[in-house]
Amino acid sequence: MLTLKRARPAARALTSVLLAAATVTALSHSASAADSLASAAAGKGRYFGTAVAANHLGEAAYANTLDQEFGAVTPENEMKWDATESTRGAFTFTAADQIVSHAQSKGMKVRGHTLVWHSQLPSWVSGLAASDLRTAMNNHITQLMQHYKGKIYAWDVVNEAFQDGSSGARRSSPFQDKLGNGFIEEAFRTARSVDPDAKLCYNDYNTDGVNAKSNAVYAMVKDFKSRGVPIDCVGFQSHFNSASPVPSDYQANLQRFADLGVDVQITELDIEGSGAAQATSYGTVVKACLAVTRCTGMTVWGVTDKYSWRSSGTPLLFDSNYAKKPAYDAVLAALGGTGGGGGGGTGATCTVTFARTADWSDGYNGEVTVKAGSSPITGWSVPVAFASPQKVTALWNGSPSWDAGGTVATVRPTYNGSLAAGASTSFGFTVAKNGSSALPAVGACTAS
């Protein structure tokens, strides 16, 4: 094949150029490729995570966006009681394991969600009498935490145990109603005894500002700390919309909890809306976390609007075509990252497709097609992660900048940056397999 014949000799000539580029990039990260949410957050000593659903991991755009942008995951439903112990004593970990091993293979943190919660709770649990319920609760905590021991950064041990409104009271649940106020303390003590290395969090919603509900949680945490009940962190879900916007005292509220001697985390962030208003709210949340030393990280409740639990409210950072939204730019900017490309109002978007165009025993050629969205674009960039120990020996119609490890190339245009709306261009490369025939992971396209 003609292309192949031309590409392989060119490969040798280009090798030294590419190696030189890799070295330079390694030394000057800030001047190189656009940051991801994860890398920008890491620069501030924080993680930036997302909720993940196991059944979407097989969708290339989903997995690529996840892998490119996020440094932590929370299984959206897969670790909940109804998913893991729908029948008493019979534990199912398949879907959650899939997420955890994906995360581990990419070096992402995992938040465990959640051990004791009134919702997504099988009916056999609510049918138990008190002493049996106590046994079942402690066994559930023990089995899950043992299964994932050493793999979980933080567990939401108890979720949503307080009532909304002005009462500050506990919410009615099988645990509360049958075991009384002590169930939370008991759950945390059991959790600590099973995995002393995981951070143990209490997690709730409508506790994001100072109000009766957050005051009640605050009093509980203060009491736990004074009596030595093991608690390490408080999660603030932060599900916002026009009826429940980001509170003006959000940062102050995070700070008062941190001052009790616990870490705070934003655990399920999503903000309904669009455009600049949504972007501004996201920026406010990120800045609040960064301003609180003990705010250790942020998690958005999903990768894309396409699969959000509140999809019609378009509350996430990537739209349903995986294009970055202005909210993405605002988050990246608040994290001090460079790059962006969420359009910021320009409407510039692009998508990518990948094909292996030739394959031989010790190498292959790949081609990435870049297609402009519904607006013209003047530039694009595409991250391509190659499987180690593969080596790229040639790359044409694109200009790569390499990460420090020399496996991820962020490819930008050489002559082919300007595309009319809906028009395409492509770049290609030759890869020496070095024993691995794995395909590269082609990340989301960023347009300008």
Binding site for ligand XIL (CB under 6 A): 76-77, 159, 237, 268, 309
Q: Residue 356 forms beta bridges with which residues?
A: 366
Report the distance separating Cα 146 and Cα 191, nearest Å.
10
DSSP state of 304: B
Task: Report the residue number, 77 or 215, with the smaller CB distance to ligand XIL.
Answer: 77
Name the residue nearer to ligand XIL (CB basis): 159 or 265. 159
Tokens of 210: 């100072």
Q: Which tokens go with 84?
A: 């893991």
d(CA 387, CA 326): 31
Distance CA 213, CA 5 (A): 69
Instruction: For ligand XIL, give the closer residue by CB, 224 or 236.
Output: 236
Q: Give the residue with the Cβ less far from ligand XIL, 117 or 257.
A: 117
Active site residue 268: yes
Q: How far apart are the first and last CA of the chain?
A: 35
Which position among 160, 185, 186, 272 bears the catalytic label?
160
Which residue, 409, 410, 406, is CA-closest to 23? 406
- Residue 139: CB minimum distance to ligand XIL, A: 21
Length of the chain: 448
> How many whole angstroms from its chain centre is CA 195?
23
Closest approach, Cβ 338 to ligand XIL, in A, equals 31
The CA-atom distances, in angstroms, between 209 and each of 166, 186, 202, 218, 261 are 13, 27, 16, 11, 18
Characterise 230 by phi-psi region: left (phi > 0), alpha (psi -120 to 50), beta (else): beta
Identity of the residue, 58 or 89, whose beta carbon is nearer to ligand XIL in the bound complex: 58
Q: What angle do CA 228, 295, 310 make, to 5 degrees?
A: 110
Q: How many helices (H) and strands (E) does the chain have?
A: 13, 18
Q: Which of 76, 85, 186, 268 is flagged as catalytic?
A: 268
Task: Verify whether residue 78 is a known catalytic residue.
Answer: no
CB atoms within 10 A of CB 243: 6
Number of residue whose CB is nearest ligand XIL = 309
- With respect to ligand XIL, which residue has the nearer C-beta, 247 or 440? 247
- Using DSSP's 3-state secondary structure scheme, residue 85 falls into coil
Active site residues: 160, 268
